[in-house]
């Protein structure tokens, strides 16, 4: 079977590409290994689907942790958060802003997001149960071999996702294709996920379920640090700031066998907390500390270090400084990061250096495109990754539409 364009993968990136090709009346087919498209879309955001956020393009890019942040600019310039809002509105679904940051469908259903992406696609343009095994370049077209048949197409868009959420079919196939074709890539590793710590489990079991807001977490012996909310769990730590740091903690563990992070139970510097204690020297230690954090945290930390709460004036300076260090720069040893298969996002994918940022086309393989999570593009939780998927799907398809119309 021969087509002008073959899309591999029916996630948000592939579906946006298909949506645009359909609109332009291009002869294309989308190959999906599952019995339905968009399975990951249906699960994300607690089955509500955080589609995008309210950041402008500059702030969106600045928040990313990838090395070549500017790479995504051309895609966002064509289809950024504002254009995504307009796209869904034009297709009958309003996106509602929550917490002045994230946009969700007004219906609260991820299925409605999927409906917008699929309702204009002709059913004959999607072939289900087609697991692609190999991509071969033959003269001026590509041969796609699946578990059932062989397809031929002049243009190919690979939108197979990462290793995250394998239950929806994400098995890293894009990297297998790249390996076969000699296209450079970076292996998928966990990002945006929780971390495991025996120290936290054993020493801070009484804090399970306790959260800290806007805490600065730093990876020891590095310059890497982020600020955000944190949560003590039954296996270690989680929360937005931990998820944001997890990819770097993973790399630290790979390099050193373990990673140590520091953060404070009290949002003050050591010097600031010391001055506060001195100003309240006639009060009991724990009473002053409780003014700046929870009673439970004070009890747990002091008991853990066998510190008896006495009047501050009766304490030696070195002991006070030790207390200040504990509550502002406590060290936690991290043993491991959640597996990439259970991470919300994966770091890695097709090396951005081999892709044209203006089209997502592989520079060394004309008419072959990689988009979405298959590439080394990712962002934190908050609508970033679906935005990147939609924008790169839009960019690649319009590059192809322009080439076909030019002929």
Q: Work out the average pLDDT over 128-140.
A: 95
Query: For residue range 144-163, what is the model confidence (pLDDT) as tens digits?
Result: 999 999 999 999 999 999 98
Q: Work out the average pLDDT over 218-225.
A: 97
Interatomic CA distance for residues 352 and 218, integer angstroms:
28
3-state secondary structure of 180: helix
Q: Work out the average pLDDT over 256-261.
A: 97
Alpha-carbon distance values, 209 to 187, 192, 201, 216 (Å): 33, 19, 12, 19
CA-closest candidate to residue 350, choices 184, 199, 179: 184
Q: What's the pLDDT at 46?
A: 84
Residue 168 has pLDDT above 80, yes or no: no
Least confident of 59-68, 85-94, 241-250: 59-68
Contact criterion met (CB below 8 Å) for 249 and 261: yes
Residue 193 has pLDDT above 90, yes or no: yes
Percent of the chain at pLDDT exceeding 90: 93
Token output for 279: 């100003």
Q: What's the pLDDT at 40?
A: 87
DSSP code for 190: E
Q: What's the pLDDT at 246?
A: 97
Residue 43 has pLDDT above 90, yes or no: no
Percent of the chain at pLDDT exceeding 70: 99
Q: What's the pLDDT at 65?
A: 86
Residue 169 has pLDDT above 70, yes or no: no
Q: Work out the average pLDDT over 167-177.
A: 83
Q: What's the pLDDT at 312?
A: 97
Residue 209 has pLDDT above 70, yes or no: yes
Q: Which residues pair with 219 in a beta bridge?
A: 261
Contact criterion met (CB below 8 Å) for 385 and 165: no
Interatomic CA distance for residues 352 and 360, integer angstroms:
9
Q: Which residue has the tokens 């869904």?
A: 88
What are the residues whose beta carbons fall under 8 Å from the beta carbon of 309, sequence distance 6 or more? 284, 285, 286, 287, 302
Query: For residue range 374-397, what is the model confidence (pLDDT) as tens digits?
Result: 999 999 989 999 999 999 999 999
Q: Work out the average pLDDT over 215-234.
A: 97
Q: Which residue has the tokens 């563990």?
A: 253
What do you get for the CA distance between the two ends of the chain, in Å?
22
Token output for 79: 């289809």
Please give the residue that has the higher pLDDT: either 234 or 170. Answer: 234
Q: What is the mean pLDDT of the chain?
A: 96
What DSSP string runs through 193-258?
--EE-HHHHHH-GGGTT-EEEEEEEEETTSS-EEEEEEEE-SSEEESHHHHHHHHHHHHHHHHHSS
Residue 167 has pLDDT above 80, yes or no: no
Contact criterion met (CB below 8 Å) for 135 and 156: yes
């Amino acid at each position: 079977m021969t087509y002008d364009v073959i899309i591999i993968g029916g996630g948000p990136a592939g579906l946006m590409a298909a949506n645009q090709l359909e609109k332009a009346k291009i002869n294309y087919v989308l190959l999906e290994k599952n019995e339905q498209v968009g399975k990951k879309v249906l699960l994300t955001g607690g089955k509500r689907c955080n589609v995008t956020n309210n950041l402008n393009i500059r702030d969106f890019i600045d928040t990313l942790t990838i090395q070549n942040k500017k790479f995504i600019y051309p895609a966002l310039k064509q289809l950024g958060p504002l254009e995504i809002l307009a796209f869904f509105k034009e297709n009958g679904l309003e996106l509602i802003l929550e917490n002045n940051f994230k946009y969700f469908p007004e219906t609260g259903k991820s299925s409605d997001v999927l409906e917008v992406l699929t309702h204009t696609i002709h059913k004959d343009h999607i072939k289900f149960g087609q697991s692609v095994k190999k991509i071969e370049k033959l003269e001026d077209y590509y041969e796609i071999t699946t578990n059932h048949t062989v397809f031929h197409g002049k243009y190919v868009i690979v939108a197979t996702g990462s290793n995250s959420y394998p239950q929806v079919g994400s098995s890293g196939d894009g990297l297998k294709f790249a390996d076969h074709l000699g296209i450079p890539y970076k292996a998928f590793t966990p990002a945006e996920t929780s971390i495991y710590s025996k120290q936290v489990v054993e020493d801070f079991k009484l804090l399970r379920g306790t959260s800290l807001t806007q805490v600065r977490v730093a990876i020891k012996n590095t310059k890497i640090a982020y600020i955000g909310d944190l949560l003590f769990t039954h296996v270690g730590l989680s929360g937005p700031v931990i998820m944001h740091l997890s990819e770097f903690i993973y790399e630290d563990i790979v390099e050193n066998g373990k990673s140590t992070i520091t953060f404070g139970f009290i949002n003050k510097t050591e010097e600031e907390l010391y001055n506060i204690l001195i100003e309240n020297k006639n009060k009991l230690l724990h009473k002053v500390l409780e003014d700046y954090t929870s009673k439970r945290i004070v009890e747990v930390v002091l008991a853990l270090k066998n510190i008896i709460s006495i009047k501050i004036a009766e304490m030696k300076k070195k002991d006070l400084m030790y207390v200040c260090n504990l509550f502002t720069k406590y060290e936690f040893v991290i043993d491991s990061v959640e597996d990439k298969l259970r991470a919300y996002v994966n770091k890695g994918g097709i090396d951005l250096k081999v892709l044209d940022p203006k089209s997502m086309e592989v520079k060394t393989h004309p008419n072959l495109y990689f988009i979405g999570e298959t590439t080394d593009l990712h962002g934190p939780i908050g609508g970033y990754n679906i935005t990147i998927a939609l924008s790169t799907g839009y960019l690649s398809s319009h590059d192809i539409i322009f080439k076909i119309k030019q002929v």
